[in-house]
Amino acid sequence: MKQSYQSITWQDDHLVILDQTQLPHREIYSEIHTIGQVWDAIKKMKVRGAPAIGIAAAYGLYLGVRELDAKNFTSFNVEIDRWIEYLESSRPTAVNLSWALQRIKTTVFANKDKDLEEIKEVILNTAKTIHDEDKRTCKAIGENGAGLVEKKARILTHCNTGGLATGAYGTALSVILHAWEKDQEIQVWVDETRPLLQGARLTTWELQKAEIPFRLITDSMAGHLMKTGKVDMVIVGADRVTANGDTANKIGTYSLAVLASENDIPFYVALPLSTFDINTESGDEIEIEERDGEEVTHINGSPMAPKKTEAYNLAFDITPGKYITGFITEEGIVKPDFKKNIKKILG
């Protein structure tokens, strides 16, 4: 299976991202040379999706420290902590961002006796490793999840969970891609995903490139489709999953999970193991990002509501673990009891 585009690439001495705010009408690749540009790209969702954010942040940390003229490891480490805090402030909900940065931090400490220039190279190489691992991980997620998809299944998905949101293939979309490759003759229902229309703009773009049949629907149509027997399963991604299986994902996911439960439809979450956050007990502890209300009152800069309309714009919601049939990971399917089995799969 080949993917004709890359959301993130490292070229020579800088990062290149496919600017997702310009899709589907324009494919614009932006060169990024500074940590500030990485922060801005994450904040403005030029790069988005939990795994892709983690990859970008890892490279961003290297961009932040590569010109650093520290005299010793102690002062170097202080600067690393400062840059990590800065990058983590861009989008607080997705756990992959902090996971990638803390992984680099651990690796830096393991190499603290080396020359500082060597440590900088260690940071870059670790970022590249995280990137490469994510590609393999997403392929495995797809292969593991494809076995859950029955022939001619009608799959509902939400937001964007493809190669745009990861190193390659995606999470939930990787399952769909691999099921299609197995000749399962599937059809995909794509939620538009208000307010930024990641489903309408991005998931449709990726499915079109893969030549997988799909139909775009309004978010509010999903319940009717389920009730009238037109949905066989729901597969979504995740930005953070707590120790008890509570899942933070794009706003609207909770509603889909409740509707799927009401209509006896399997509801799966596809994610890498790095998205599990076992240090957080439940979804009640997750900080939910609130974004600019103009994303709700405007589309592509054009107003839809009267002037001075105030909008409440939460980027994510929390789906309790009781509504989730299983988690599709690179190591297999995690089923209830989640508190026990998530811990078990993480070793």
For 174-210, the DSSP string reads HHHHHHHHTT---EEEEE--TTTTHIIIIIHHHHHHH
Placement of tokens 């756990």 in the chain: 95
Of 294, 195, 208, nearest to 250 by C-alpha is 195
Position 1 scores a pLDDT of: 62
Residue 29 and residue 309: Cα distance in Å, rounded?
Answer: 34
The answer to whether residue 113 is catalytic is no
Instruction: Please report, to the nearest 10 degrees, the dihedral formed by the alpha carbons of residues 228, 233, 234, 240 taken in order.
Output: 150
- Residues 235 and 201: beta-carbon distance below 8 Å: no
Q: What CA–CA distances, in Å, run from 229 to 153, 220, 323?
A: 12, 16, 19
Instruction: With a cut of 50, list the residues of the chain below it in pLDDT.
Output: none
Residue 148 and residue 70: Cα distance in Å, rounded?
Answer: 52
Q: Which of these is catalytic: 239, 246, 277, 317?
A: 239
Compute the 3-state secondary structure of the chain and give helix, strand, coil in percent, each to the nearest 5: 45, 20, 40
Residue 149 and residue 152: Cα distance in Å, rounded?
Answer: 9
Position 9 scores a pLDDT of: 94
Residue 81 and residue 71: Cα distance in Å, rounded?
Answer: 16
Position 70 scores a pLDDT of: 84
Q: How many CB atoms lie within 10 A of CB 230?
A: 16
Position 67 scores a pLDDT of: 84
Domain architecture of the chain: domains with CATH: 8-139 (1.20.120.420), 144-345 (3.40.50.10470)
Of 172, 175, 312, nearest to 256 by C-alpha is 172
Position 347 scores a pLDDT of: 84
- Residues 122 and 114: beta-carbon distance below 8 Å: yes
Residue 271 and residue 156: Cα distance in Å, rounded?
Answer: 16
Question: Which residue type is seen at 135?
Answer: K
Give strand pairing partners of 270: 328
Q: Which two tokens stand for residue 313?
A: 């714009």
Calculate the CA 308 to chain-centre distance: 32
